[in-house]
């Protein structure tokens, strides 16, 4: 069976395996570039200290240290934990184009990046809570 294959850099997971591994709501967001409802998601107003990791593969994505309240109703960050862990892709819509943020390892959709964030980067990483799992600080201290 070849449900999952790691080539040293990228994790290739079959669609059948993603369906098995993710909830239907996660699949819609993470594999079909969906967007979860604002203000009705797990992390938009979440203030614990720790690390947010990819819900698809566990890759560390964001620290609570760079999380801020953007007022949008989605968890927002001004910087990724490791720049190489996120990859950008142009998301061309009918009227505007946005920049999609995906996991560098498994390719799952995480959210979008905008240029209206706070200092020091002025970036806003607008994430879906469904695309992330959270590890409390104690658990992630070895990172
Ligand atoms: Fe991932």
Is 132 in contact with 75 (CB distance < 8 Å)? yes
Task: Find, among 83, 82, 53, 47, the residue nearest to 65 by Cα.
Answer: 47
Residue among 54, 57, 108, 126 flagged as catalytic: 126
Cα-to-centroid distance, 14 and ligand 1 (Å): 14
Cα-to-centroid distance, 121 and ligand 1 (Å): 24
Band of pLDDT at residue 1, cut at 50, 70 and 90: low
- In DSSP terms, which residues pair with 87 in a beta bridge? 102
Cα angle, residue 138 at apex, residues 76 and 9 outer, rounded to 5°? 65
Residue 126 a catalytic site member: yes
Domain borders along the chain are 15-136
What architecture is the 15-136 domain classified under in CATH? Beta Complex (2.170)
Is 109 in contact with 29 (CB distance < 8 Å)? yes
Cα-to-centroid distance, 140 and ligand 1 (Å): 17
pLDDT digit string, tens, across residues 106-135: 999 999 999 999 999 999 999 999 999 999
C-alpha of 89 from chain center: 13
pLDDT digit string, tens, across residues 8-45: 889 999 999 999 999 999 999 999 999 999 999 999 99
Sheet with strand 132-136: strands edge to edge: 60-63, 50-54, 132-136
Rounded distance, CA 10 to CA 46, Å? 30
Cα-to-centroid distance, 119 and ligand 1 (Å): 27
Is 55 in contact with 61 (CB distance < 8 Å)? no
């Amino acid at each position: 069976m070849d449900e999952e294959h790691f080539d040293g850099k990228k994790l290739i997971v079959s669609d059948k395996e993603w369906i098995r591994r993710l909830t239907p709501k996660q699949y819609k967001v993470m594999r079909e570039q969906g967007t979860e409802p604002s203000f009705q998601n797990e992390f938009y107003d979440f203030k614990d200290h720790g690390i947010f990791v990819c819900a698809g593969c566990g890759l560390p994505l964001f620290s609570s240290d760079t999380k801020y309240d953007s007022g949008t109703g989605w968890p927002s960050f001004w910087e990724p934990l490791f720049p190489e862990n996120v990859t950008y892709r142009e998301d061309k819509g009918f009227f505007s184009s946005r920049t999609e943020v995906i996991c560098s390892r498994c390719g799952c959709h995480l959210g979008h990046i905008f240029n209206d964030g706070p200092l020091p980067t002025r970036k806003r990483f607008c994430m879906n809570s469904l695309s992330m799992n959270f590890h409390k600080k104690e658990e992630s201290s070895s990172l």
